[in-house]
Amino acid sequence: MTAHAATQRAATVEFEHVTKVYGPGAAVTGAPAAVDNLSLSVPAGRICVLVGPSGCGKTTTLKMVNRLIEPTSGRVLLDGVDAATRDVTELRRGIGYVIQHAGLFPHQTIAENVATVPRLLGWPSARMTARTGELLAMVGLDPVTYAGRYPAQLSGGERQRVGVARALAADPPVLLMDEPFGAVDPIVRERLQDELLRLQEQLAKTILFVTHDIDEAIKMGDLVAVLGAGGHLEQFGPPAAILASPANDFVARFVGTDRGLRRLSLLSVGELPLAPVATCHVGDDGPSLRQLVPEGDFAYVLVLDGDDRPIGWIHRDRQTDGVVTPDDIESDSPLLDRRTTLKEALSLLIDASVQTGIVVEETGAVSGRIGIADITARMQGADRSADRSADRSADRSEDRSGAGPAGDAEP
């Protein structure tokens, strides 16, 4: 299944003034709403996260897409077609649905579970078997081991993976996920999140993802919709915009006072300009180090071993005689690669004795260094860009950080 074919299988989802009110007073205005006049548009192939405190209507909104709940007023459109005009069963067979605790059928094997929708659609069994094997492999479960097992034999994380495979079985254009990783422990949750993002790189589905965890929303979403009490949409935009410019007090409070740190997790080391590093090798002449680093600059030289791997720092004035040996190393520094988020980098640097991070390539070769000052300078640059990007419409596809490199002269 090529990426090209996959993007054709992603639909746009739009909410037009969707409202849901419960109770006999449904027609009465002023009755408390579960979802209140929601309008937003999710472009095809994007992950849109609905986030908010409990009772804010995010699950209700999600369920109005596959009509497990019907809107009181307003329309939900998939690829421009009103969901209410379609046959509800046919609609649901074309939408993937993943819930907390997976909801796998306990009396069916994993393979039978995954093939549920294809079986409802009448696929030939050879095609179903092939597709099941493909999907299980895609979610990281070996088909040979898992296909014949029953859900009771799997761990919680494994069951969630099967749930995702089951939702993707008929290659639906839209995927709905309701707190899918809420019931597993944090380590498993992080792994599942990373795998979903990796899957999305391949499949580019339109995903609506509900969570109450703002960190998950920031991590997973291309677009984030913050919902408040009474089912009211408080803000809708890319994660960087939510963090940099919360639309009101509610959003600011929901995001939390450490939103600055959260924004750091959206940027990575590779986006920073790297300062050069003076290097020397074990066995080099000690006094000559002084020439490597000019006065007034960062006063340390990086010692490399025989494979050009960094061992540690040595002050340029340290050795007045003899050669450099590993015992002369004064201190160490964290090693970073280009994909390390600035948040991780910052926390590593704060802990280090020499607050400089060594950036290495995949080969292990040293490419430069960054310090805490570089990080803060980048944040200030990002501030300016993010303010401008928050003004743009959410429909435009932009990269996840929501901003160009620092110092860009934006039109």
Partner 1 sequence: MVIDWGWIAGHLDDIVAALWQHIVLVGIPLATGFAISLGLGIWAVRRPRVYGPITAVTGVLYTIPSLAAFALLVPVFGFSMLVAFIPLTTYTLLILFRNIVAGFQSVPSEVLEAADAMGYRQRDRLLRVEIPLAVPLMMAGLRLAAVTLIGLATVVSILGSGYGGLGQLITDGLQTFFPTKYVLGGVLSVALAVVVDLLFVRTERRLTPWAGARATGAVPA
Residues that bind partner 1 (CB under 8 A): 66, 68, 89-93, 95, 97, 99-108, 116-117, 120, 145, 149-158, 160-161, 166, 176, 184, 188, 191-192
CB of 166 to partner 1, least distance (A): 8
Count of other CB atoms within 10 angstroms of residue 309: 13
* Nearer of residues 151 and 334 to partner 1, judged by Cβ: 151
Select 91 or 203, whichever has its Cβ closest to partner 1. 91
* Shortest Å, Cβ 155 to partner 1: 5
Q: How far is the CB of 156 from partner 1 (least distance, A)?
A: 7
Shortest distance, CB of residue 172 to partner 1, whole angstroms? 10
Q: CB–CB of 188/156 below 8 Å?
A: yes
Minimum CB distance to partner 1 smaller for 20 or for 189: 189
Q: Which two tokens stand for residue 330?
A: 């004064």
- Which residue type does 185 have? D
d(CA 69, CA 83): 12
Nearer residue to partner 1 within complex by CB, 110 or 233: 110
Q: Angle of helix 186-203 relative to helix 156-168, nearest 10 degrees? A: 20
Element (H, E) at 128: helix 125-138
Helical residues (DSSP H) of 24-122, grouped into ranges:
58-63, 88-93, 110-114, 116-121
Nearest residue (CB) to partner 1, 88 versus 365: 88
Report the nearest approach of partner 1 to the CB of residue 97 (Å). 4
Q: Which C-beta is closer to partner 1: that of 187 or that of 409?
A: 187
Smallest separation (angstroms) from partner 1 to the CB of 302: 39
The CA distance from 239 to 263, in Å, is 8
| Strand 81-82 with 356-360, pairing | unpaired
Residue 254 near residue 226 (C-beta atoms within 8 A): yes
